[in-house]
Chains A and B, each alone.
Chain A
Amino acid sequence: MSKIVEGLKYSDTHEWVKVEGNIAIIGVTDFAQKEMGEITYVDCPDVDDEVEKGGEFGALESVKAASDLFSPVSGTVVEVNEAVVDDPKLVNDDAFENWIIKVQMSEASELDDLMDASAYKAFIKE
Chain B
Amino acid sequence: MKYYDKLIFELSKPGRIGYSLPQTCSKCKGTDAIPAGLLRSNAPKLPEVSEVDVVRHYTNLSQMNFGVDTGFYPLGSCTMKYNPKINEEIAAMPAFNAIHPLQKDVPGVDAVYEGMDKALAAITGMKHFTFKPCAGAHGELTGLMIIREYHMSRGDTKRTRIIVPDSAHGTNPASAAVCGLDVVVVKSNANGLVDVEDLKPLLDDTIAGIMMTNPNTLGLFEKDIRQIADLVHAAGGLLYYDGANMNPLIGTVRPGDMGFDVMHLNLHKSFSTPHGGGGPGSGPVGVCEKLVPFLGVNVSGFNGNFGVILRAYAYILMLGRENVKLCGKLATLGANYIKESLKDCYKLPIPTVCKHEFVFDGLINDGAREGKEGAATLDVAKRLLDFGFHAPTIYFPLLFHQAIMIEPTETEPKETLDEFIEVMRKIAAEAAQDPDILHGAPHTTPISRPDETTAARNPILKYWDA
Binding site for B on A (CB under 8 A): 35, 38, 40-41, 61, 63-66, 88-89
Contact = CB atoms under 8 A, between A and B. Distances in A.
Contacts of B398: 65
B182 to A, nearest CB: 11
A66 B173 CA distance: 13
Contacts of B158: none
16 contacts: A35-B401, A38-B453, A40-B453, A40-B456, A40-B457, A41-B456, A61-B456, A63-B452, A63-B453, A63-B456, A64-B395, A65-B395, A65-B398, A66-B170, A88-B457, A89-B457
A88 B457 CA distance: 8
A35 B170 CA distance: 18
Contacts of A89: 457
Nearest to B378: A64
B452 to A, nearest CB: 4
**A-B pairs with lowest CB-CB distance, top 4:** A40-B456, A38-B453, A63-B452, A40-B457
Nearest to A40: B456
Interface string B168-201: 0010000000000000000000000000000000
Chain A, interface SS category: mixed
Contacts of A63: 452-453, 456
Interface in B424-466: 452-453, 456-457
B217 to A, nearest CB: 14
Contacts of B395: 64-65
Given A40-B453, A66-B170, 8 more contacts: A35-B401, A61-B456, A63-B452, A63-B453, A63-B456, A65-B395, A65-B398, A89-B457
A91 to B, nearest CB: 12
B323 to A, nearest CB: 39
Contacts of A88: 457
A35 to B, nearest CB: 7
A35 B395 CA distance: 10
Nearest to A64: B395
Contacts of B456: 40-41, 61, 63
A61 B457 CA distance: 10
Nearest to B450: A63
A38 B454 CA distance: 10
Contacts of B170: 66
Contacts of A38: 453
